[in-house]
A = this chain, B = another copy of it.
Amino acid sequence: MSLLVVGSVARDTIRTPHGEIEDALGGAAVYFSLAACNFTEVRLVGVVGDDFGDGDIELLRSREIDLAGLQIVEGGRTFRWSGEYSEDMNSRETLSVELNVFEHFEPVLPPDYISSSFVFLANASPATQLSVLEQVESPVCVMADTMDLWIDIARDELVELLGRIDGISLNDAEALQLTGCRNLIDAGQAILDMGPANVIVKKGEHGAVLFTASGVVALPAYPTGRVVDPTGAGDSFAGALMGSLTRDGSVDEERLKAAIAYGSVVASFTCEGFGTVRLAEIGEDEINDRFLKYCESLQISR
């Protein structure tokens, strides 16, 4: 089984109450891949400028992430994002966005990616996400992420996408915005009705809620007190989730619960370092230790 991710590769400048980093490796597809590579082979499709630099290419390659689908635009400049977190880190303000080469990103899958069995369409315009969907052949499972912007300006395409994929991960505010519901449980059900068999609503430090035909399962975040930078937590959550599903090769409710547990665990590591720093250094053993602790903490004797 192989896992394909299509999404942004970026340079991030991040300020939190704990410090800051400048022009650091970032982007949804990067966080996703660095998380997923602990579980399975990952193929990354994205675009950067020739300013991106070899160091981070080497870092991604060293984690055995397949970069055959990473376009490098000669004379182009890499997508840049800069943001600052509030004191309690529950909200953040975007200070600047330069889409640069990402603005006209038209993902083209290398021929051997077309048969990828698991596919994640990281946050991008629904039109871009649909164009990837057109290129893959009979995948086992396609999931997508989205954001408030697309719900605002490209709702129809997003609804079309939802009718054609197996799962969606989005945050709580987005789920309410997309459905007009006042209650998250109603919102999740309403999104299920739009087509996907699995809806995963991310609630940051409060965990995630899984909606399937079998019902609703709420799972907590892995509790960590060492949160220094939440950037990429959602994308690395999705990466571990899709990575573990790909490794298992199936997507039933039991596997989805384990996948969310892995997602929560890996996201907790991500938050413990700036940018991708902590995420890039963890390995299977650390992940498994925390995963077992997480599962045990949720076992309730009757």
Q: What's the least CB distance linking A62 to chain B, in Å?
A: 28
Report how far A301 CA is from B223 CA in the complex, Å.
Answer: 20
The answer to whether B225 touches A189, judged by C-beta atoms less than 8 angstroms apart, is yes
B300 touches A223 (CB 8 A): no
CA distance A221 to B216 in the complex (A): 12
A182 at the interface (CB under 8 A from B): yes
How far, in angstroms, from A6 to B172 measured CA to CA in the complex?
Answer: 37
Report whether A218 and B216 are in contact in the complex, using a CB–CB cutoff of 8 Å.
Answer: no
**Total copies of this chain within the assembly:** 2
Residue of B nearest to A176 (CB): B88
How many chain A residues touch B (Cβ–Cβ < 8 Å)?
Answer: 42
Closest to A89 in B: B182
Within 8 A of B (CB), among A251-267: 254, 257-258, 261
- Given A257-B300, A292-B302, residue A223 in contact with residue B205 (CB < 8 A): no
* Cross-chain contact B218 with A185 (CB below 8 angstroms): no
Report the nearest B residue to A297, measured CB to CB: B217
A221 to B207, CA, bound (A): 11
Which A11-60 residues have a C-beta within 8 angstroms of B?
Answer: 17
* A184 located at the interface, meaning its Cβ lies under 8 Å from any Cβ of chain B in the complex: yes
Contact indicator per residue, chain A 273-302, by CB within 8 Å of chain B (1) or not (0):
000000000000000000110110111111
Query: What's the Cα separation between A216 and B225 when bound, in Å?
Result: 10
Chain A positions 190 through 231: 1 when the CB is less than 8 Å from some CB of chain B, otherwise 0: 000000000000010111010000011111111111010000
Contact between chains at A17 and B257 (CB < 8 Å): no
> Is the Cβ of B209 less than 8 Å from the Cβ of A302?
no
Given A184-B205, A300-B261, A301-B254, answer yes or no on A223-B219 (Cβ-Cβ < 8 Å).
no
* Chain B residues closer than 8 Å to A215, beta-carbon distance: 297
The answer, among B203, B223, B291, B295, for a CB contact under 8 Å with A206, is B203
Q: Which residues of A contact B (CB under 8 A)?
A: 17, 87-89, 176, 182-186, 189, 203, 205-207, 209, 215-225, 227, 254, 257-258, 261, 291-292, 294-295, 297-302
Query: Known pairs A184-B205, A292-B302. 19 more at Cβ < 8 A?
Result: A87-B182, A89-B183, A185-B224, A203-B206, A207-B218, A209-B220, A215-B297, A218-B223, A218-B297, A219-B220, A257-B297, A258-B302, A294-B300, A295-B300, A295-B302, A298-B298, A298-B299, A298-B300, A299-B299
21 of the cross-chain contacts (CB-CB < 8 Å) are A87-B182, A88-B176, A183-B225, A184-B205, A185-B223, A186-B225, A206-B206, A206-B207, A207-B218, A209-B220, A218-B220, A218-B221, A254-B301, A258-B300, A258-B302, A261-B300, A294-B300, A295-B300, A295-B302, A298-B300, A299-B299
